[in-house]
Amino acid sequence: MTNSSNIFLILSRILLFFTPSILLLSCAEKKGEEDSNIETINSSEKKHFKILILGDSLTEGFGVDESDSYPALLEYKLNTEMHSKTGNNYKVINGGISGSTTSGGVSRIEWFLRSKPDFLILALGGNDGLRGIPVEKIRENLEKVVLAAKENGIPTLLAGMKIPPNYGLAYSLSFSQLFPTLADTFDIPLIPFLLEGVGGNPEMNLPDRIHPNARGHKLICEIVYQALSPILE
């Protein structure tokens, strides 16, 4: 056998010895990359939590900069304080429209559900009360929104509202009581009064004495956060 033949035979045996190890290493590296990609995808999905606030001009932030509205402040607070506890990144969807009533909420909820929120804060009813809409109709509309969220597996936090007694004591009481009644019926958490410490306080409102100013929105953010944080933890 020639020297060149001997060399070829030796190289062939070396190649046969190392090839399975190379293939195993390559497969292991590929599997590791796939596992890493899956972990990244799962982590991304886990850390994206969307909260929809369905409301009126109070939620929209009428008369203040968008960054000063309580939904924007809530998003910042969740991402700075709640993120360390849950590992989630939070996106608050501002579903507030000036003048919106519970009837408007019914017509808009399906559209907002297309964004696939993970949680709903229902903050409607104030304009209904100011317009003297029958309490039964308000309750019926709120129930439709809560049910739409429930059918899509979305938990709801209900924000209660109150109206001044000059609308009639009987109507004012009936209006304020519909929120805790609804919360009990559907076993959902309740913020007793969204504007606690803000409503009727000149220092917390714009000159119209109806819409919160920047200070008022900060307090509303705190009220919502205190009700929301135990649910998210």
57 is catalytic: yes
Q: Which of 69, 176, 211, 217 is catalytic?
A: 211
Q: What is the residue whose two structure tokens read 């709903």?
A: 120
* Residue type present at position 75: E
Q: How many CA atoms lie within 13 A of 195 on its CB side?
A: 24
Alpha helices in the chain (DSSP H): 3-46, 57-60, 70-77, 83-86, 102-113, 126-130, 135-151, 169-186, 214-232
CA distance 112 to 188: 20
128 is catalytic: no
Q: Which of 57, 69, 100, 176 is catalytic?
A: 57
Instruction: Give the CA dihedral 104, 110, 115, 116, nearest 10 degrees.
Output: 120
48 is catalytic: no
* Residue type present at position 204: M
Considering all CA atoms of the chain, what is the largest pairwise distance in Å, rounded to the nearest integer? Answer: 114
Are the beta carbons of 62 and 210 closer than 8 angstroms? no
User: Could you list the active site residues?
Assistant: 57, 208, 211
